[in-house]
Every structure is written in C-alpha cells, then in structure tokens.
Structure 1
Amino acid sequence: MGVSHLKKDIVPVVVIGGGPAGLTAAYELQKLSDTHVPRVFEASDMVGGISRTETHKGYRFDIGGHRFFTKVREVEDMWHEVMGDDFITVQRLSRIFYRNKFYDYPLRIFNALGNIGPYETYKIIGSFIKWKIRPRQQEDTFEDWVVNRFGGRLYMHFFHSYTKKVWGIPPSEIRADWAAQRIKNLSLPKAVWNAISGANDTASLIEEFQYPRLGPGMMWEKTRDLIREKGGSVETHSEVIQVNRDGNRVTSIDVRHWTEDGEKHTERVEGEEFVNSMAVRDLIHAFDPPPPPEVVEAADRLRYRDFLIVTLILDHADPFPDNWIYIHSPQVKVGRIQNFRAWSAEMLPDQNTASIGMEYFCQKGDGLWSSSDEDLRHLASEELEKLGLAKASDVIDHAVIRQPKAYPVYDSEYKDALDTVSGWLKTLENFQTVGRNGLHRYNNQDHSMLSAMYAARNILGEDHDVWDVNVERSYHEEFEAKPKKKAAPQSAVRKSTAL
C-alpha cells in the first residue's frame, strides 16, 4: 500500500464524494484559502452524484429532474460564478395524473373542480372542516401531518397512494418531520388562495427556475474543472474503503483506485481535515477502529430508497408539454415521468424525437431493480401507452440507470438512530459530514451545498453546525424532544428557508 507524502506548507483537506456537497466543499475552501488544498475522491466514473447528467447516443438526461432555485444567497452566487451564461430560464409546467385525468400542479381552481366534480369538492371541504375542528392531537407521522392540514378526503386522493409508491411503506410509517421539511408552509386554504389569486410563496411550487443548458451535470463538471485549475484534485474511479482514526482525530483514508480495464491499487491518503458526503451508514462501517457498538447498530437502522430511470427515445416530438408529470395511478408502477426537452432543447441531439424519463422508486435487489434492461424498456413502454401518452411502438431506443441510496428514509426508527450516529460523529475533531446522504436528510441541492460551505468555513475557523442546515424553528418546536445545546448560527437561521 503506497503512502502519499504531503508538503508542510499546505493544509491537505480530504473530501469523500464528488457530488454537489463534496465538490462545493472543495470549491468554497479554495475560494476562501490559498493554503488549504482539497483532494476529492469519487467512487463512480462521473462527478455530480444524483445531480449528474447521463448520456446515451447524444441524449442527455437527469437522474430525476433538478431545478436550480434557491433563497440561499451563497448558493445562488456559486451557481452563477460557475455557470456564467450557461444558465437558461425554464417555465415550470407539471401536472398530476390521477383517475385518468390531469390535474394542474400547482392547483388551478377551475381545473381541479372540473376534474373532481362538485360532489367530491363538497366532501373535501367537509373533511377539511372536520379535521380543523377536531385535529389529530399527535403529529407523529406523515399521515397525521397531512390530514391535519388538508383533511382526510384530500389526503386519500392525492397523498396516500403516491407517497406509498415513492417510499414503499404506508404514510402512517413515515415521520411527520419529512412532511414539515418537504411541503412546509402549505395548507388547503393557502393552496386554494394561491389558485385564485396567483400568489405563491411556497418554494416547492415556483413557476420558473434556472437550469444548465446541458443538464445539471454541466454545473458539477465545470466545478470539477475549476477545482483542478486552482491546484486541487478530483479523482474518479476512487472508492474510499476505510477511514482511519486515532481517538477523536481522523488521520487518513484508504482509497481503492481502479482503471477502466479493471486494474486496482490501494492508496493511503493522509490529511489534516476531512469532509465526508458518502452515505452515513456506509461511513460508520468504514471507520477503523470502529465506533462503539451502539453507534454501529444505530447506523444499520438507517434506511434508503433506491431509484431507477428508464429513458425512452420516441420517434416523434414531445407527447406532452410538461417538465414532469406525477403519476398517482396505482395501476402502473411508474411514479414520475420527465420530458427532457421541456427542461432544455439541448438535451436532445434530434429535435424530431422525444426523450422521456420513466422514473421508478424501488429497493436494490427487488423485482424492479433486478429486471433486465430489456424487461424495463418493455414495462416502461407499455405503461407509457397505458397512460395514453404515447404508443409502445413509438419507442426506438432506451437507456436504464439504477441509482442506489437516492433518498434517505424517514421511518419511525430513523430519528433516534440518527441522533446516536450524529452524536458520535460530532466528537471527531477534524471530520465533518455533509450533503443529503452524509447527513441522512432529504435536502435539495441548495441545502446540501450550504452544509458543505459551512464545513469549509469551519475548517478555516468559523463555527457552524452543519446538522442544523434546513432545520427551521418550526421543525424544532414540533419535533425536537428537547432543545439543542448548540444554537444554529444566525446566518443558518436567516438563510435556511429554501425549497
């Protein structure tokens, strides 16, 4: 095993993971310091993590859609510093497919009433009044949280089946804090008022957003290049297999490098500071010596939802104008459908075709995940036709991408487990963990980036709690069993209001 020898006049910073969080930590560090030199290790062959852009015969597609919208000024600034003129402004158009009808999303009052009918509208309003008068006293679950704000009838129509499809478990087993984080600041009266007035201050329902003209991966490929230009390194095909520590200090990591022809070698990389963005469950198992048994046991209780996308190339232009469509119908397995030209025309090499992403939520090793690419093409094509969007015979090509650990799961056990894991990680003096999987928090891209920016600033002497990013005061009041001893920095409280 080779050992990297480091110059004494620089401060080596090791970054685990080349997704948005890892690359942002390296970029921010170089922006603020000439002496701290980052070395980023990414296990796969591409940077960008779940925000990468895959390609197939010139067709470019996301691993899910990635809007660039934020209220976090630092993140907005970085996007524009990196992308320059390569951003385009995209008008949002998205709908819900339910009971063979399309519902505009955000809600359009006449569209919704026309689809659902006067009788069901009356029942929804009655249900809402009932639950406002006699709400559930405990909001422990996603179901509790939604019913109290929308009523049981609307929950049954638009939340129950889709949420179960996405997560693979009933909404009654998902923690309420996921709802508070992801659909905060929205209720039935506000949704109706937004529909009537055109007002909208709910970040998840924004009407337009920015987007790199060649997909989100363009952002992270440019960030990688800038890091390298400034003297840092970003190494793909480099899997971190061990994190070595001496007491409360991490001393080095072991990295398995491999070439495209399969040759492998292992390197021990020393550092003064370490930033992690790999999944926290895997991270805990990578430590040598290992953490206490109760920490390892807690990490093993953290769960993830996996994802795959079947991109279908059609022999004609777009079958629908939406950026994406949510598929609530339980008659099909697909959960969401992307139209990549509606994001950017440059995602397609041939404008006489269409590129349609059929997204499936699954578990690694289950029937969907284990299906052959050809079987998945057949399934996706048949479901596209069953939904009345295009004929299966219109499909002329396809590509399949499987994405493990796409979403951290907020089940009934996750919070106690995560508290145990994070409590131990916070005892490490020179090691921070950031990003969606590094914090086991269903953050959007902007908050993953903000946690990484704070980690970089902490290395340079500031004092930010990265675990508090995107944890609002209302979240603490509703779900924290006891107050935190360390308050969030004022900048975090002020700016953690996006998405």
Structure 2
Amino acid sequence: MTKKAIIVGAGPAGLTAAYELLQRTDIIPIILEKSGDIGGISKTVNYKGNRMDIGGHRFFSKSDRVMKWWLNILPLDNTTGEEIALQYQNQRTLLKNASSTPAGETHRMLVRERLSRIFYLNRFFNYPLSLSKDTIRKLGFKKLALIGSSYMAAKLRPRTETTLEDFFINRFGSNLYQTFFKDYTEKVWGVPCNALPADWGRQRVKELSVRKAVVHAMKKKPAADLKQKSTQTSLIERFLYPALGPGQLWEEVAARIVEMGGEIHFHHEVNGIAHSGGNISSIQSTDTNGTTHTWEGDYFFSTMPVQELIASMSPQPPAEIRSIAAGLPYRDFMMVGLLVKKLLMHDRFAKTNSDEIRDNWIYIQEKSVKLGRLQIFNNWSPYMVSDPGTAWLGLEYFCNVGDELWSMPDDAFITFATGELERIGFIDRNDVLDSNIVRMEKTYPAYLGTYNRFDEIRNYTDTFHNLFLVGRNGMHKYNNSDHSMLAAMTAVDNIIANITTKENIWEINTEQSYHEEE
C-alpha cells in the first residue's frame, strides 16, 4: 500500500519536503495550506504587475545541496553570454547561458549585486560599517574616536552574555551599539535589547564584528564565487534572485510537485492532530466552506506555529507543555507597497556614473519614524516593476496583532507610511501613483516569553516517531529559507535511512555560521 506524508504548510520547508519525498521515495505528499498562496513568507505578491517580496529574500547558502537545488528549479541567467564559474569546496562548475526566448526570458535565476545600507542622520552608511573614507567623513573623527575607545573597552572588559545588549556591546562596543544597533533592533522586536536573550544575536549576527568588517574592507575585491564560504553573509556582495521574486521559484516547485503526483490543498486550516502510541495518526482540517476533512498518513511534517501545533493535539499534551507553547511570542509584519514617479533621495557619493540609489533594501535608523526597512524592488530585479520608469518601494513595519500600527485601517496606514517616507526625504507624496498593503501574522518567532523552556516542547514532540517539525515557525527558530529547506531535506534523509533521532534536524542553524535578516 502506498504510504502518505501529510505536510502542513506550503512554504519553503513544506514544499522542499514534498519535492524531496517525490524525487527520492514512493511516499505521496499531501500539503495542507491555510492561505491561498504558495511560498509562506517567501511568496511574491503581484499587485497590478508590480511584485512585492515579503521581507526580502536573497538566494545565498553555504550549503552546496541547497545551491544546486535552487539552480535545478530555475536555471542561472548569464546576460553576458559567457560562462560563469561557481567555485566552492574545491569544486568548480561552469554554467553556460541558456538560449533566451521572449516567452521564457523571466524563467531565470539572476545574479544580483548586493547593497544594503543604513540610513541615519539623513545619510547613508555602509552595512556593515567599515573604516572607509566615506564612513570617516560622515561620522567625523570625534565620533570614530568614541566608537574606537568603547570597542577597546569592550574587548578589555567583556560582559557575560546574558542579554542581546551584552552580545552587541561585546561585538561592537557600547558607542557603536547605541548608534547603529539598539534602536533598529528594538523596532524589530518591540522590546528593549536588554530584555532579549543573547541567543538571538548568536544566531542572527553570529561572528560578524568590527574586526571582521575592517579585515573585509581591506581585502575586499570582486569574486566570481557566489558561494563565498569564507565570508560572513552580511558581507557577501553577490547573490542569486529569481527574475520574478522568490515566489516564482516556489510556484515552480509546487507545479512540479503536482506533476509528480503530490497534492496541494489550499484554504485548509489545521485544527486537530490525533495521536496514539507515540505516533501521529491523522490531521483534521477545515476548508472555507466549513467542511471538516480528516487526513490519515504514515508521516507528518509540521511547519505551522508550534503554539498552534500543541493546541491542536489530541489527546492534549501535558499541562506544562501547553502552557509553554501558549507563552511563545511572535512578531508580526506589515508592508506598504508604494509606486512613485521618482525618488527624491539621491546618492551623492555613489561610485557609479549615476547618483540613483542602488540598494536592495535600506535599514532606517531614524528615531523620528517607525519605518524599519525600505525595499527598492527595482534593484532586486528589473522584472519586479511593471513600468521601469517608476520606483516600486516596500515600506516594512514590525508590529504585533492588535497594536496601534496593526489596528489602523489600510487606507490610514498607507497614508501614515507615506508621510513617514516623505518626512525623511525619500519621496514627495504628490508623486505617489498607487499603493498596496500586505499583512503577515507570526512572521518572526521571538526568543521571549517562555522560549527559555522551549527544549521541553522539543523533547515532547520528538517522542512522536513520525512527526517532523521543520521551518521557521515549525521549529520556532529564526531560520532563513535555506535552513528551513535543509531541515526538511534532513527529515526526508532520516525517513529513508530509518533514523529515529531528530537531533540532526534541530542542529541545523545552530553552528556559528552566517545570517542576514529576512
């Protein structure tokens, strides 16, 4: 009898699990997706031909397996017609440009230049900071002296790393932390840095530091190696990007899953997970008509928030487990898409012939606004905007469901966001041609509340032999897309090899490796 795997969620982790199962086993995957979209937070929103990338997704991984997987789904574009060499782990691969046709010109993975900067005091600063002439000119020698002395003090008297504030000060010194990290981080999480655990910094910032930034600035040179394994991710200059945004890749994966015999059911909200004898036996979902469906299977993959997973289980988990799960917090996300005639802001110190802003995204450090990041979708891919003569922007806000920002009606929030971007000099509101808003719940699992007891939940869910928690919310772990994919791949590896431990799944993204925020 054919075995089945029930997968909750059609984001990167769920889709990767389904694809791997179909490619490597006889197990048939059935995906239950709560929304009507493919890709989770990696979806692309198409608004009148203008595409929005939710959070910004650079396609870069230090995993050979993931890099090859991506390029198997979307071929690499080479506009020069020359071979591109990808060299990593002593392997060198030459990728030739496929012949292009008008109908298929966007079915490509582009090679894009990375530029992300900090906007602070009405000026642009490279991210990460380096001791360049540009930085010295903008900060001034007095400020640099204060940064240098506080950095040396932190090196001489390092703090015990209990909070995120401790972590940042040890890496950057108190002055640089106060200038460039404190306010932005508190915008993201809505709480002071001294209330956040150091774990978040170890996972998201990891080995990036003043010393590494300085060394990198001194050694900086163009590289044909997209893998760039010896470089911290925040320092990487080139990345891959689907021509039509990240959702393009995941929509292609979904199409292949269906072609190979898998199933994807949209608008199915999981509200029941039955178990007995150390195994999950079935999942219950409700569709938009209110009809209840029961899905029996042999394996179960969950990418749904852990909080909802535990609440859905029957028989109920122990009271302590339910209490810990209920106390896991999340941060929600809103993005306003603004189509404008032009940007007022220019880059006076651009190193190109044009003074246009070339950033993929910009960290907004100004205290006068709640805006967290600004994406310029034109700079991700020219195909992201319908009219290349306009600027298509994404204004990112971090919030909580029910708070002041989230509770604003759409029109009022768009007006508010437009006003903030005008206030810091990027646009004139009279140049706005159109707008859109996207709201995403539980975008960022937070390391707050009961998170310090999360291992108790992990130990409990690991007792179910055929249940695999994967993905950012599925593991309550601030993963990037490649980590979510690797977790799903490893889960399938375990099924094939009959490995019962889940340890190797949880170990993904615990090494001191790399990160840049998505």
- TM superposition score normalised by structure 1: 0.90
Mapped contact 2:331–2:400 kept (Cα < 8 A) = yes
Mapped contact 2:73–2:253 kept (Cα < 8 A) = yes
Give the counterpart of 1:113 among 127, 130, 136: 136
Give the counterpart of 2:22 among 22, 25, 30: 30
Instruction: Give the unaligned 5+ runs of structure 1.
Output: 1-7, 475-495
In the superposition, relative to structure 1, how do residues 76 and 380 fare at CA in structure 2: closer, same or farther (>3 Å)? Answer: same
- What's the CA shift for 1:411? 2.3
State the partner residue of 1:290.
316
- Could you tell me how far apart the structure 1 residues matched to 2:71 and 2:411 are? 40
State the partner residue of 1:162.
184
State the partner residue of 1:307.
333
- What's the CA shift for 1:247? 3.3
- What's the CA shift for 1:461? 2.5
Q: Secondary structure in 1 aligned to 2:472?
A: helix
Q: Please say if 1:70 is aligned against 2:61.
A: yes
Q: Secondary structure in 2 aligned to 1:367?
A: coil
In the superposition, relative to structure 1, how do residues 413 and 254 fare at CA in structure 2: closer, same or farther (>3 Å)? Answer: closer
Q: Give matches, 1:190-339, under 5 Å.
A: 190-198=212-220, 201-258=231-288, 263-316=289-342, 320-339=357-376
- Could you tell me how far apart the structure 2 residues matched to 1:282 and 1:296 are? 10
Work out the percentage of aligned pairs sharing the same amino acid.
42
Letter in 2 for 1:471: T
- Could you tell me how far apart the structure 1 residues matched to 2:473 and 2:234 are? 21
- Could you tell me how far apart the structure 1 residues matched to 2:151 and 2:342 are? 44
Q: Give matches, 1:89-488, under 5 Å.
A: 89-108=111-130, 109-136=132-159, 138-198=160-220, 201-258=231-288, 263-316=289-342, 320-411=357-448, 413-416=450-453, 418-463=454-499, 465-472=504-511
Q: Describe the superposition over 1:36-91 as per-residue Cα deviations: whole angstroms up to 9, x where unpaired.
A: 00001100000100000001111111111100000111111211111124100110
Letter in 1 for 2:374: I
Q: Secondary structure in 1 aligned to 2:291?
A: strand
- Could you tell me how far apart the structure 2 residues matched to 1:291 and 1:318 are? 56
Q: Secondary structure in 2 aligned to 1:447?
A: helix
Q: Describe the superposition over 1:167-216 as per-residue Cα deviations: whole angstroms up to 9, x where unpaired.
A: 00011111111111111121112212222331771112210100000000
State the partner residue of 2:34.
43
- Could you tell me how far apart the structure 2 residues matched to 1:298 and 1:282 are? 12
Mapped contact 1:71–1:498 kept (Cα < 8 A) = no
Letter in 2 for 1:328: Q
- Could you tell me how far apart the structure 1 residues matched to 2:278 and 2:51 are? 44
Structure 1's consecutive aligned runs of 4 or more residues displaced over 4 angstroms after TM superposition are 496-499
Q: Describe the superposition over 1:102-142 as per-residue Cα deviations: whole angstroms up to 9, x where unpaired.
A: 11223342121111110011111111111111111x20111
Q: Secondary structure in 2 aligned to 1:80?
A: helix
CA RMSD of aligned residues (A): 1.5
- Could you tell me how far apart the structure 1 residues matched to 2:153 and 2:47 are? 52
- Could you tell me how far apart the structure 1 residues matched to 2:39 and 2:444 are? 15
- What's the CA shift for 1:442? 0.4
- Greater helix content: 1
Mapped contact 2:51–2:385 kept (Cα < 8 A) = yes
Letter in 1 for 2:231: D
Letter in 2 for 1:70: S
- Could you tell me how far apart the structure 2 residues matched to 1:226 and 1:178 are? 36
- What's the CA shift for 1:415? 2.4
In the superposition, relative to structure 1, how do residues 155 and 354 fare at CA in structure 2: closer, same or farther (>3 Å)? Answer: same
Deviates more, 1:16-25 or 1:388-397: 388-397
